[in-house]
Structure formats: structure tokens, C-alpha cells
Chain A
Amino acid sequence: MKTYEVFLKRPGKDPFTHVGALEAPDDDLALSFARDCYTRRSEGDQMWVVAREDLLVADPVELEMADRPHRHNDGTLLRDLRQAGSQPAS
């Protein structure tokens, strides 16, 4: 049995969303089981089923963030400056 990941998209502007996984012996049965396990109540009108082994998986080390507060600008500095009626120091 292979593991497959299932993605569904609802009608409209919603993006594809990961909804779960399943096990199946081949691609055809994976599609069949995915239909029966994840779309029984019309949860989506489009479905992607991907063999987990075909996914490109990033190295978690590359995703680890060092302390980079400047990438988390939440706009509060600018807001505070505006409220104080002053211009940013040049």
C-alpha cells in the first residue's frame, strides 16, 4: 500500500486545501478511495490526489528562522509615529 495526500477545492475562489491522507495499492484505487472518503457530502468540486513519495519535501533546517524580527513588521512602529504626529527621524 502507498500513502496518498488528498487536496480538495470548493467551488469559487477558495484555494486547494489539504484534507487528509489515505492508503491505497495503486493510483486508480487512491482516486476511488479519495472520492469515497473525502467527498461524500460534496465537500469539493475538484480534487487532487498525490502520492506522498512524489511530493518535494523541503529540508526543515532550511526553514528554521534565525532571530529576524525585521521580517515580522506588524506596522505598529509606523502607526505609533503617525499617532504622535511626528515624522520618522531622517
Chain B
Amino acid sequence: MTDSAPASTHSAHEAVLALADDELCIGQNLVWWIAVGPFLEEDLALTSISQDELGHARALYGLLGDDIDALAYGRQPHEYRSAHLTELPCRDWGETLVRHFLYDTAETVRWAALADSSWDALGAVARRALAEERSHLRHASGLLSWLLRTEAGRSQLLPLFDQFVPMACELFHLPPGCSQEALLADGVMDRSLSDQRAEWQSGVDGAVASAGYQPQWPADGAATASASGRAGQRSAHFAALHAEMVEVLSIDPTAVW
């Protein structure tokens, strides 16, 4: 990183690490759907999306160092910065869909704030990812809008919004010690997180309003308490998720692919 001022360097690295860890965890969790999706097209779509997310993680880790595998797999649990939402297994397809919708709506906003980054390489990753996120979002919101037209869909999916929304707010938090002011001042990111969160929130509200629903949003400041993932505290699901990611490496540490 040569083209952004030193004041923001540490914060930019921490912010990128958090984004990368989100992508890694959600990508790994979506992979679970391979061969067991509810119908063939959806099976392929979810796993294709998971590969896109893992690709984003790879690109982001690549901004932080040359040894991508060491970054992705080799850290201690407390060194990960993933939001707890991304660590949830979501083995129920309805849960996966609601999380996917919340996450990709958030991603579209987050990447857009980085697309013109003063960190050129980050901007390039963001613009590439943004094109894919639009397609992910079309998938998530398309399915959601169809299912919310049915009573069964509403009764199964809407309660999940209240369950996941407080956790999803963590997506708009930076790790401790990461200065939003520095990121904005140096143009690494061109929009405040509270602005980004507001846009995300109105996107989510809009999608469920047709079903006569209003998610219960935690107050802006209250979400700090739920940002423990960013601070390095892992959720109960992380250990199993991480064990699955490093399964091959733990059998053969010299494995390459």
C-alpha cells in the first residue's frame, strides 16, 4: 500500500481483514449447500455464489500479504475479525436465504463505498466484486419477493429477519483500533459507516415492506455490544467452520492446490 497516507494504513488493513473474514466465512458456509439445495438451479446458484465470495476473500487477503492461505487458514481464532452473522451455519434454506439477502444487500453498499478508494488495488477489487454482488442480490431478492407473496413464506421467513438483523448490524462495524475518521480523511472509503448502514437498512425495509413487515432495528449506537466478532471473539459456530476449512491442511500441511 503505497498510495494512501500512513495515518490510515493500519485502519485500512484492519478494515480489509474484517471484510475478507466475512467473505471467507460466508463463502465456506454457503458451500455446504452443494448437492443438497432445494432444487437444481438453486443448488448451483448458491454454490456458485459461495465461490464468488471465496474469490472476494482471496482478492482481499491478497491485498494484505503474499501468503493467502496463511492469512485465510493459519490465524488463531481471536485473530479473525468476521461478523458473527457470517459464522452461522444456517442449515435451513430459509435461514440461508434471509442471511444471504441481508448480507448481499450490505455487501453492495459496502463495496460501493470502496469502489473509488484512494487505495487503488482495493478500489479495483471493490469494482469487480460489485458487479458480482448485483447478481447475487438479484438472486436473493428475486427469491425473497416470490416467497413473501405466500403465507407459508411470510410465516417462515419474516421472523428470521428479527433474529438476524441485530447480528447483521455488525457488518457495518470496524474492528477496534480501526479509525473510520482516518479511512474517510484519506479517501480509503468515501462514505461513513452510519450512512452505509442507513442505505442498507432502507434496502432491507423496502424488500419486506410489501409483506407489511418492519424489522426491529437496534439503535445505531447499541450495535457496539453486538460487534464482538470484529473484536476477535468468535461465535460458538466458528470452531467447526474453521476445522472444516483447514481439514486438508491439518492432514497434510504441505498440500497445495
Contact = CB atoms under 8 A, between A and B. Distances in A.
A31 B146 CA distance: 15
Contact of B139 (A22, A23, A36): A36
B54 to A, nearest CB: 13
A25 B142 CA distance: 9
A46 to B, nearest CB: 16
Given A23-B39, A24-B41, A37-B41, A32 B48 contact: no
B128 interface: no
A15 B48 CA distance: 26
Contacts of A35: 48, 135
A32 B135 contact: yes
Chain B interface size, as a band, is: 10 to 19
A26 B39 contact: no
B143 interface: yes
Interface in A11-62: 22-26, 28-29, 31-33, 35-37, 40
Given A23-B39, A40-B51, A32 B142 contact: yes
B5 interface: no
A23 to B, nearest CB: 6
B30 to A, nearest CB: 12
Contacts, number: 43
The dominant DSSP class at the B interface is helix
A26 B146 contact: yes
A32 B146 contact: no
Contact of A29 (B40, B51, B142): B142
Contacts of A29: 138-139, 142-143, 146
Contacts of B40: 22, 37
A28 B138 CA distance: 7
B203 to A, nearest CB: 16
Contacts of A23: 39, 41
Contact of B142 (A22, A26, A37, A40): A26
A40 B139 CA distance: 15
A31 B45 contact: no
A33 B41 CA distance: 6
Contacts of B41: 22-24, 33, 36-37
B165 to A, nearest CB: 24
Interface centre among B41, B44, B49, B143 (most CB of A within 10 A): B41
A50 to B, nearest CB: 16
9 residue pairs, one from A and one from B, having the closest CB atoms = A36-B45, A36-B48, A33-B41, A29-B142, A32-B139, A37-B44, A32-B138, A28-B142, A25-B146
Interface of A: 22-26, 28-29, 31-33, 35-37, 40
18 contacts: A22-B40, A22-B41, A23-B39, A26-B142, A26-B146, A28-B138, A28-B142, A29-B146, A32-B135, A32-B139, A33-B44, A35-B48, A36-B45, A36-B48, A37-B40, A37-B41, A37-B44, A40-B48
